[in-house]
Chain A
Amino acid sequence: MPLTTEEMNGVLVVTIHEKALDASSVKQFKTDMTPVLEHAKLVIFDLSQLEFVDSSGLGAILSCLRQLTGKGGDLKLCGMTKPVRALFELVRMHRIFDILNTREEALHTIRR
């Protein structure tokens, strides 16, 4: 799973360069995220290239949130496409996550 990360003012912005995050790709995502989550506390996921997320993808993202909040960190989501948002709303996860339109907004609102 191609992920790119960039550090901005102590916040790690992770961009997922993938069209779909589903059962077929979620394992790789989890593997790739493990070292990222070990070092970072404040993470922003840029989901703007992701066109499809299924329940397992959502589960993986939820797992990231739990890990980060568990160690006093935070996770913000931004750039969410319409199909992805549809899933989040379907399983009411839009209430659990902070979902922001742009990376800038996410950076602005993340707790430091």
Chain B
Amino acid sequence: MSTKTAEFRLAPGIAESTKVQQRFLSTFGQVALPLAKAEDLAVAVVFAGESHWLTFNLTCTCLKASFGRIPCFRPAGASLTCYSMKFPVVLEGSDNGEVVVCGKPGQQAIIQAFHSLIASASYQCSLERNMDSLITELTASWESLSAVYEISAFIQDKQMVEQVPTVLEHIINRATNGGPNLQAVLWLLNPAGDSLEPVAAKTSRILKTRSTGFGLLGKVIGSKQSLLLTSREDIRGCTELEAEFSKAVNLAVVPLRARKRELGAIALWSEDECAFFDTGTLRFLETLAVQSSMLLENNRLYQEILATERLHQEIEIGHTIQKTLLFSAPPANLSGVQVAARTLPSQMIDGDFYDFIVHNETCFDIVVGDVMGKGIPAALVGAATKDHFLRAHHELVNSSAQPAVNGPAAVVAEVHQKVVPQLIQLERFVTIHYGQFDLQHKRFTFVDCGHTQTVHFHYRTGICDLLEGDNLPIGVTHTEQYHQFEVGFEPGDVFFFYSDGITEARNPEGNFFGATRLVKIIRESFQNTTSGLIDEIFKELQAFAQNQVFADDLTCVAVKIGFDDWPSLRVNRVIELSSDLVELARVRAFVAELCAVQGFKEVAEEVEIQLKLALVELVTNLIKHGYQEEPGHQMTLEASRSGTQVVFELFHQGLPFDRAEVREPVFDGSQGHGFGLFIIESCLDEVVYGSLDEGKSFVRLVRNLD
């Protein structure tokens, strides 16, 4: 091509021609130049105003100067006689121009013949152009196909996603293989989408991570359109041009996209004047961009699968933590109370926890907590906090002189001291409800640190109270004063502790389950066992949410105060008596006091009267007959009371008693004595007379209370 156009000269300061114009010049020149030379004609081809192409005019050199300005091609004051004609050149789009032919008078016919020469050249030119683009397309397709094949083969060789950077390097290498001195970079957006990072490059330029939104890369990514620039001027004319492109002569930039998401861009450029980029180049680069995008998208999906698997693993670990560290088994050996606790794990891991601290047979503590946030960290914070409650309890017990039971406020304050600095550092906080059941005095004392309201169902009235304290969650402030509150309870009452997962469970319409529904179930199902009550609540929750799995863990503890089935609760009392009948008043007071001990089902008045009668008769008999009313002897009366039984044991050293010698009483009023033993045996379920070593004897009296 260049040899044919060598006969045309570029006028100084005139812009380069386009490819189409060059093709026209070449075709037209082949016939026009020999003719012009033979006929001594001056021929100028004019494109886009300022662009002039000239032949050497052998005779009309005087016109040369005039040809500098084609629009005023026919100079008004030209002294020489000449003839010139102007012909339109119709190519494509904006490439239309003119041909000016100048000769001597008498050459009109020849000059007019140029019209057909121009038309013929135009036609030839369009044919060539079509042929060219076909070849370009074929070449580009072949290039693209071979690149796809090659990259696919490369990917197959690799452990796919593990090797994403390697494959991207390979793609860049493939892009720059297309010609000498090509440079290419693949840029990827970071996950936040605010910066671009060069992940694969073959360039002499230094590249750095940069912000998105400006420059050519920003333009391409923002517009989602490929860009092809094929002249130094066009490239330099770009605003905010990236430094690495500053010396480029040809430049192609293609966005990387997948599933309507921007991933980044790939740029290919050349600083070599000889290189020539066209739509084929762009096609080729686009093919590589699609390959890169697919690779990245596949990798993302693969990572997602991995993440899901990791999440499942995390949940497994979380559940192990929960089972082993967060939840303690409810105490089973408490007298007179039923305790049940349960958690329904969610898809995520929560930091719910509960624990029980049993002080003695009639006093135990319960702590329920919920760590804000999710995941293994939350579970671990929950486990650590729970652990601190037990430690705080032990430390308080060990540090005090008396083995007193510490109130909830003291325990929570102790825990606060230990955990708050860490919690604040971790930016976590924990809601807590710490309660203490005193079965003997029927008091429940609690500290509430921003936890859910505990439900207290009153058996006698059927009313539910929602217990709420006034403290902030642990870990919110350094200086929190903990306040404890106290409520009384009675047999049959139910306490229900729970995490907010229960009240904040949602139905498909998005409504909360709420405390009102919870209270309703408790009021309807209070006669169940605690475990049965929790079954009922979970059943209702699942029906409400229309789901078996919940967003949060559902954690709860139910405590039910029993009536009289407190067999293991036993209170022991002892009184020393002297062998004097004045002691009878003390014996009655002793029985009255034993009957009044709190924490048991009330002793019926009749029973108390009978116990007093029996004891008074027994002690009277002993003083009268055992000690012959001789003062100064000691007797020991021991009593123990459980929920179902009262047992008295009277230890003495008086004369042994022989039951067989006692005559049956007469009930006709004829005798005023002989009723004592009858009374004792009528009032008790079991009377045993026994002897011990060294002249000691005992009488054991048992009265069942049911």
Interface residues of A (CB under 8 A from B): 20, 22-24, 52, 54-56, 58-60, 62-63, 65-66, 82-83, 86-87, 90-93, 96
User: Does B676 count as interface, using CB distance less than 8 angstroms?
Assistant: yes
Q: Could you mark each residue 115-147 of chain B with 1 if its beta carbon is under 8 Å from any beta carbon of chain A, else 0?
A: 000000000000000000000000000000000
Which of B582, B613, B669 is A54 in contact with, Cβ under 8 Å? B613
Closest residue of B by beta carbon distance from A63: B672
Whether B669 pairs with A20 at a CB distance below 8 angstroms is no
Instruction: Give the chain B neighbours of A96 by CB distance below 8 A.
Output: 668-669
Known: A22-B620, A92-B667, A96-B668. A55 touches B582 (CB 8 A): no
Q: Are A55 and B669 in contact (CB under 8 A)?
A: no
Of the candidates B581, B606, B612, B675, the one whose C-beta lies within 8 Å of that of A55 is B675
Complex interface residues of chain B between 571 and 595 (CB less than 8 A to chain A): 581-585, 588
Contact of A91 among B581, B624, B679 (CB under 8 A): B679
Tell me whether A20 and B585 are in contact (CB under 8 A).
yes
Given contacts A52-B612, A86-B609, contact A58 B678 (CB under 8 A): no
Q: A91-B678, A91-B679 are in contact. Are A83 and B673 (CB under 8 A)?
A: no
- Neighbour of B682 across the interface among A58, A59, A62, A90, CB < 8 A: A90
Q: Helix, strand, loop or mixed for chain B's interface?
A: helix
| Given contacts A20-B584, A24-B585, A54-B620, A87 and B613 within 8 Å (CB-CB) | yes
B605 pairs with A56, CB closer than 8 A: no
Chain B proximity of A30: nearest CB distance (Å): 11
CB-CB < 8 A to B581: which residues of A?
22-24
Which residues of the other chain, B, contact A65 by a CB distance below 8 angstroms? 669
Known: A20-B585, A63-B672. A56 touches B620 (CB 8 A): yes
Q: Determine whether the beta carbon of A54 is less than 8 Å from that of B609.
A: no
With contact pairs A59-B675, A96-B668 given, residues A86 and B606 touching in the complex (Cβ less than 8 Å)? yes
Partner of B612, one of A62, A63, A83, A93: A83
Interface residue tally on B, bucketed by range: 20 to 34
Q: Give chain B residues whose Cβ lies under 8 Å from the Cβ of A20.
A: 584-585, 588
Given contacts A55-B675, A86-B610, 10 further A-B contacts (CB under 8 A): A20-B585, A58-B675, A59-B672, A66-B669, A66-B672, A87-B679, A90-B682, A91-B667, A93-B667, A96-B669
Q: Is B42 an interface residue (CB 8 A)?
A: no
**B532 at the A interface (CB under 8 A):** no
The reply on B617 being an interface residue by CB < 8 A is yes
Provide the residues of chain A in CB contact with B668, threshold 8 Å: 96
User: A91-B667, A91-B679 known; A59 and B673 CB under 8 Å?
Assistant: yes
Closest to A27 in B: B581
Cα–Cα distance between A104 and B583 once the two chains are bound (Å): 36
Residues of B contacting A23 in the complex (Cβ-Cβ under 8 angstroms): 581, 584, 616, 620, 623-624
Q: Which residues of B contact A66 (CB under 8 A)?
A: 669, 672
Q: How far is the CA of A65 from the CA of B671 in the complex (A)?
A: 11
Expressed in whole angstroms, the minimum distance between the Cβ of A99 and any Cβ of chain B is 13
* 24 CB < 8 A contacts A-B: A20-B588, A22-B584, A23-B620, A24-B583, A24-B584, A24-B585, A52-B616, A54-B613, A54-B617, A54-B620, A55-B617, A55-B676, A58-B675, A59-B672, A59-B675, A62-B672, A66-B669, A66-B672, A86-B613, A87-B613, A90-B682, A90-B683, A91-B665, A96-B668
Q: Which residue on A lies nearest to B667, using beta carbons?
A: A92
User: In the complex, A77→B675 CA distance in Å?
Assistant: 20
Contact residues in B for A59 (Cβ distance below 8 Å): 672-673, 675
**Chain A residue nearest in CB terms to B620:** A23
Given contacts A22-B584, A24-B585, is CB(A83)–CB(B609) below 8 Å? yes
Q: Quick one: CB contact mask for B611-644 with A, threshold 8 Å, 1 for yes?
A: 0110011001001100000000000000000000
Are A55 and B673 within 8 A (Cβ)?
yes
Could you say which residues of chain B place their CB within 8 Å of the CB of A83?
Answer: 609, 612
Bound-state CA distance A92–B668 (Å) is 8
Residue numbers in A under 8 Å from B617 (CB-CB) = 54-55
Taking the closest CB of chain B, its distance from the CB of A58, in whole angstroms, is 7
The chain B residue with its CB closest to the CB of A64 is: B672
Which of A54, A60, A92, A93 lies in contact with B616, CB distance below 8 A?
A54
Bound CA–CA A54/B611 (angstroms): 12
A12 to B658, CA, bound (A): 43
Task: Tell me whether B609 and A55 are in contact (CB under 8 A).
Answer: no
Task: State whether A91 and B675 are in contact (beta carbons under 8 Å apart), knowing that A54-B617, A96-B669 are contacts in the complex.
Answer: yes
A24 to B676 CA separation, bound complex (whole angstroms): 14
Taking CB atoms, residues of chain B closer than 8 Å to A86 are 606, 609-610, 613
User: A45 to chain B: closest CB distance in Å?
Assistant: 15
A24 to B580, CA, bound (A): 8
A90 touches B605 (CB 8 A): no
Which residues in A have their C-beta under 8 angstroms from that of B669?
A: 62, 65-66, 93, 96
- What's the Cα separation between A67 and B288 when bound, in Å? 131
How far in angstroms is the closest Cβ of chain B from A25?
8
Distance A65 CA – B583 CA, assembled complex (angstroms): 28
Complex CA gap A59/B605 in Å reads 24
Query: Chain A contacts of B678 at CB under 8 A?
Result: 91
- Which residues of B lie under 8 Å from residue A92 when comparing CB positions? 667
- What distance in Å separates the Cβ of B685 from its nearest Cβ neighbour in chain A? 15
A25 and B92 alpha carbons, distance in the complex (Å): 141
Contact of B672 among A54, A58, A87 (CB under 8 A): A58
Residue numbers in A under 8 Å from B683 (CB-CB): 90
CB distance A90 to B672 under 8 Å?
no
Of A55, A92, A96, chain B has the most CB atoms within 10 Å of the CB of: A55
Neighbouring B residues of A56 by C-beta, 8 Å: 620, 673
Beta-carbon contact of B616 and A22 below 8 Å: yes
Report chain A residues within 8 Å CB of B610: 86, 90
How far, in angstroms, from A58 to B588 measured CA to CA in the complex? 17
- Distance in angstroms between the alpha carbons of A66 and B679 in the assembled complex: 22
Find chain B residues with CB under 8 A from A91 CB.
Answer: 665, 667, 675, 678-679
A90 touches B613 (CB 8 A): yes
- A92 to B672 alpha-carbon distance, docked (Å): 12
A23 CA to B622 CA in the complex, in Å? Answer: 12
Q: Mark B225-249, 1 if CB is under 8 A from A, else 0.
A: 0000000000000000000000000
Question: A59: shortest Cβ distance to chain B, in Å?
Answer: 3
Cα distance A1–B205 when bound, in Å? 123
Q: Which 8 A-B pairs have the closest CB atoms?
A: A59-B672, A24-B581, A96-B669, A55-B675, A23-B620, A62-B672, A83-B609, A92-B667
Give the CA-CA distance A58 to B679 in the complex, in Å.
12
Q: How far is the CA of A54 from the CA of B581 in the complex (A)?
A: 12
Nearest chain-B residue to A85 (Cβ)? Answer: B609
| Assembly CA distance A52 to B667 (angstroms) | 20
How far, in whole Å, are A65 and B585 apart by their CA atoms in the complex?
Answer: 26
B152 → A minimal CB distance (Å): 103
Bound together, the chains give a CA A101 to CA B517 distance in angstroms of 55
* B672 close to A60 (CB less than 8 A): yes
Min distance, Cβ B146 to any Cβ of chain A, angstroms: 113
Expressed in whole angstroms, the minimum distance between the Cβ of B619 and any Cβ of chain A is 9
Residues of A within 8 A of B606 (CB): 86
Specify which chain A residues have a CB less than 8 angstroms from the CB of B676 in the assembled complex: 54-55
B312 to chain A, nearest CB (A): 71
User: In the assembled complex, how far is the CB of residue A47 from the closest CB belonging to chain B, in whole angstroms?
Assistant: 15
Q: Which residue of B lies closest to A83 (CB)?
A: B609
* Chain A residue with Cβ nearest B587: A22
Instruction: Tell me the minimal C-beta distance from B662 to chain A in angstroms.
Output: 13
Alpha-carbon gap, A62 to B682, bound state (A)? 20
Most chain-A CB neighbours within 10 Å: which of B584, B624, B665? B584
